[in-house]
Amino acid sequence: MEAIQVPTWGWIAFGALVLGLLSIDLVAHRGHHATSQRSAIAWSIGWILFGLGFGVFVWAMYGAEPAHEYLGAWLIEKSLSLDNLFVFLVIFRSLSIPELEQRRVLFWGIFGALVFRALFIFAGVEALERWHAVVYVFGAILLFTAIRVAREDPLKQKESKMVGWLSRRLPVTSKLEGTHFVVRHGGKLLATPMLVALITIEFTDVAFALDSVPAALSVSRDPFIVYTSNVFAILGLRALYIALAHIITQLRYLHYGLAAVLAFAGLKMVIPHSWVHVSPLMSVLIIVACIGTSVVASLVWKRRHPQRTLNPPPSTPARAH
């Protein structure tokens, strides 16, 4: 399939739409709404419907195959973003950041993620067009990551190594200073735990992009399809975190489902299409089956072991320097 030709004004209009949605997200999570799980669930459903609605727009404008590619790439990014939630939970607990302040960090973290994903996606597409061998590099990365994700249970991670590394090297205050990322004490500029959390989230997203972008590119090589699907999957991440923060640690087998999605994407990259061709629609069904099976298995385990808890205990906050 040839790449969709989007005029400059189309990209500008899409950028304006994203900025508008970010503004809505910022307003929606102010005040008491920031900690309301019911509100977060409603917003999460709204973001999902919005993402699917854009898929309908792609279908109407460009046809069924691009729409299937969009849905496949969107599902991959949405699925892998669940892994981000575990990391966010560990980061905030490591720094003892309360729920209300977590929303501010996540907003700027998501804003940075949108920028980083654009850079990675357009660089990845360009690399695939120039050097075909890059497809095998991406495939190997995905297969290696799938093995790592399957072996490392995120529920057992109690603290963030990146948080510890930054806390030892940055002058950090011993406690939060309201919603400030940086404060001045005694003429010295100090980072707050909020800034440490934000930097950690941004670095983490760069690492996640190395997995999720090649995974999306296994479904489509079209920059418009891949970037828009990533954007609409990421935009609802803050609401999704608020909605699932208290139950995500009960999904004992979710990381196996994520590993299966990564392995599928990796194999799709390295196996020639002339040998095995998996249509975009079949990719969607396989992704849904992988994640759905892991979630159902987790819920069955939880039902059989109602007294077992998988919540990692919070660690001590970062120390001042």
- Indicate whether 316 belongs to any domain: no
Task: Give the residue-averaged pLDDT of 106-111.
Answer: 80
Q: What pLDDT does 306 receive?
A: 66
- Indicate whether 3 belongs to any domain: no
User: What 3-state class would DSSP assign to 191?
Assistant: strand
Token pair listed for 256: 């196996």
Q: Return d(Cα 239, Cα 236) in angstroms, integer.
A: 6
Token pair listed for 39: 């509100």
Q: How many domains does the chain have?
A: 1
| Cβ atoms of residues 167 and 318 within 8 Å | yes
Q: What pLDDT does 54 receive?
A: 92
pLDDT, the chain, mean: 79
| Cβ atoms of residues 269 and 127 within 8 Å | no
Q: Return d(Cα 207, Cα 188) in angstroms, integer.
A: 32
Q: How far is CA 229 from CA 123, 131, 170, 287, in A?
A: 17, 24, 36, 15
- Indicate whether 274 belongs to any domain: yes
Task: Give the residue-averaged pLDDT of 248-260.
Answer: 81
Q: How confident is the model at residue 312 (pLDDT cuts 50, 70, 90)?
A: very low
Tens of pLDDT, residue by residue over 187-241, are 788 888 888 888 888 887 777 777 778 888 888 888 899 899 988 988 878 778 7
What distance lies between CA 117 and its chain's CA centroid? 10
Q: How confident is the model at residue 2 (pLDDT cuts 50, 70, 90)?
A: low
- Indicate whether 184 belongs to any domain: yes
Count of alpha carbons within 13 angstroms of residue 84, beta-carbon side: 31
- Indicate whether 1 belongs to any domain: no
Q: What pLDDT does 319 receive?
A: 38
- Indicate whether 315 belongs to any domain: no
Question: Is 159's pLDDT higher than 50?
Answer: yes
Q: Return d(Cα 282, Cα 267) in angstroms, integer.
A: 14
- Indicate whether 241 belongs to any domain: yes
Q: What pLDDT does 310 receive?
A: 47
Q: Is 198 exposed, middle or buried (0-12, 13-18, 19+ CB in 10 A)?
A: buried
Residue 266 is part of which domain span?
Answer: 8-304
Q: Return d(Cα 19, Cα 23) in angstroms, integer.
A: 6
This prediction has a pTM of 0.77
The letter for the amino acid at 252 is R
- Indicate whether 71 belongs to any domain: yes
